């Protein structure tokens, strides 16, 4: 039997941690739930400790190898009383949410930009949410008369970076009831974990990256399209050498210098890294809207007064392409930069 269940009729965030880290969007989910949170996954206690905005966190370390069906079955009783269960629309959140909705027999509202809980005249819960469509340019209101599970779009609501923790937060260990699948009977819903591989920094989902090195139009200054594409290919290798992933502005993705999956911003990916390095990025609001709240920002730009440099801890006023080429040389990753392109 679980020791600490979520009180009747309240809102609670459910966060899946990996090695003590919370996903992008966790702080937003906690804020939307008013500071009540259940943290599961590996390093759940550490993750609960470092989450901002927490009033009360219940945590259960479920070890490595996240099994969403097992966790959903085990969590069902813990959150059964909650009228609103909020998960970030992170990869693990999107895995767990529908299973949790099924296990608790309530509807799922997927990828809301905001949600709120109220009661009707009879005191029954009413969950309202705004669901974004067409690149979030249209907000569709959704109303559920009764309890619901909601996934929250990452970046839809302001939230702090998950490293500073919350002063005065109450942290309680949660004992999850063993489920049939956890006791070895198996479940058809969870895959068997064969091996956990570290992400490939060259290809990993940007939103999971703890270091992001982004390139903008300034990185391609003076280059033709082929030369610019070569520069962005080098950016991927230099970013990986720095233990990070490469991002880009919309100017770069629209021009085809790099893929759309690398676009950071309001119409791209939302990131929340520890370190964000911007090479030739002006810092337009539509870009910085997806940058989260990195602990450190470095801006490399020829314009010392551009918005990106204004929000940086360290501003380097220099040519971004030349700096990238130098980094490539020093890291020994500049070998196959040549793409046939060059100065325009």
The first and second tokens of residue 178, run together, are: 């063993």
First-to-last alpha carbon distance for the chain, in angstroms, is: 68
Give the residue with the Cβ less far from ligand FAD, 115 or 282: 282
Give the residue with the Cβ less far from ligand FAD, 76 or 251: 251
Using alpha carbons only, give the angle 282, 287, 290 rounded to the nearest 5 degrees.
Answer: 145
Closest CA to 206 of 265, 165, 158: 265
Using CB under 6 A as the binding rule, whether residue 327 contacts ligand FAD is answered as no
* Residues 296-325 within binding reach of ligand FAD (CB under 6 A): 300-303, 306, 319-321
Question: Least CB distance from residue 30 to ligand FAD, whole Å?
Answer: 25
Binding-site string for ligand FAD from residue 193 to residue 232, where x marks contact by CB under 6 A and - marks none: -----------------------xxx--x-----------
Closest CA to 344 of 223, 230, 219: 223
Give the residue with the Cβ less far from ligand FAD, 57 or 212: 212
Question: Least CB distance from residue 344 to ligand FAD, whole Å?
Answer: 13
Question: Least CB distance from residue 258 to ligand FAD, whole Å?
Answer: 11
Question: Least CB distance from residue 330 to ligand FAD, whole Å?
Answer: 18
CA separation, residue 241 to residues 30, 151, 154, 197, 201 (Å):
33, 34, 27, 18, 9
Q: Phi and psi (nearest 5°) for 253?
A: -75, -40
Give the residue with the Cβ less far from ligand FAD, 252 or 298: 252
Alpha helix (H) residue ranges in the chain: 26-32, 44-50, 68-75, 91-103, 225-241, 250-254, 285-288, 307-310, 320-331
- The residue ranges that bind ligand FAD (CB under 6 A) are 216-218, 221, 249-252, 263-268, 280-282, 284, 286-287, 290, 300-303, 306, 319-321
């Amino acid at each position: 039997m679980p020791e600490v269940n979520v009180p009747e009729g309240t809102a609670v965030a459910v966060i899946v941690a990996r090695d003590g880290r919370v996903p992008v969007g966790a702080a937003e989910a906690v804020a939307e739930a008013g500071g009540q949170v259940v943290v599961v996954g590996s390093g759940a206690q550490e993750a609960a400790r470092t989450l901002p905005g927490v009033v009360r966190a219940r945590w259960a370390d479920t070890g490595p190898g996240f099994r969403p069906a097992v966790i959903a079955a085990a969590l069902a009783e813990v959150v059964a009383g909650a009228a609103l269960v909020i998960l970030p629309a992170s990869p693990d959140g999107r895995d767990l949410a529908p299973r949790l909705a099924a296990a608790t027999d309530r509807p799922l509202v997927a990828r809301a930009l905001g949600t709120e809980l109220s009661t009707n005249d009879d005191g029954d819960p009413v969950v309202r949410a705004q669901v974004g469509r067409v690149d979030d340019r249209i907000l569709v209101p959704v109303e559920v008369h009764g309890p619901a599970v909601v996934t929250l779009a990452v970046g839809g609501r302001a939230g702090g970076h998950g490293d500073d923790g919350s002063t005065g937060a109450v942290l309680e260990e949660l004992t999850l009831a063993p489920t049939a699948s956890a006791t070895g009977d198996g479940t058809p819903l969870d895959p068997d974990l064969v091996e956990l591989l570290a992400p490939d920094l060259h290809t990993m989902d940007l939103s999971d990256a703890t270091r992001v090195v982004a390139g903008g139009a300034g990185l391609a200054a003076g280059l033709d399209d082929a030369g610019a594409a070569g520069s962005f290919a080098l950016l991927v290798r230099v970013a990986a050498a720095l233990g990070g992933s490469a991002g880009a502005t919309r100017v770069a993705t629209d021009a085809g210098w790099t893929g759309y999956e690398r676009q950071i911003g309001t119409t791209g990916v939302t990131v929340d890294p520890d370190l964000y390095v911007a090479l030739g990025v002006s810092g337009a609001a539509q870009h910085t809207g997806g940058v989260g709240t990195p602990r450190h920002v470095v801006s490399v730009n020829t314009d010392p007064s551009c918005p990106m440099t204004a929000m940086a801890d360290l501003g380097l006023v220099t040519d971004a392409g030349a700096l990238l080429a130098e980094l490539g040389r020093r890291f020994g990753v500049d070998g196959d930069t040549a793409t046939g392109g060059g100065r325009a």
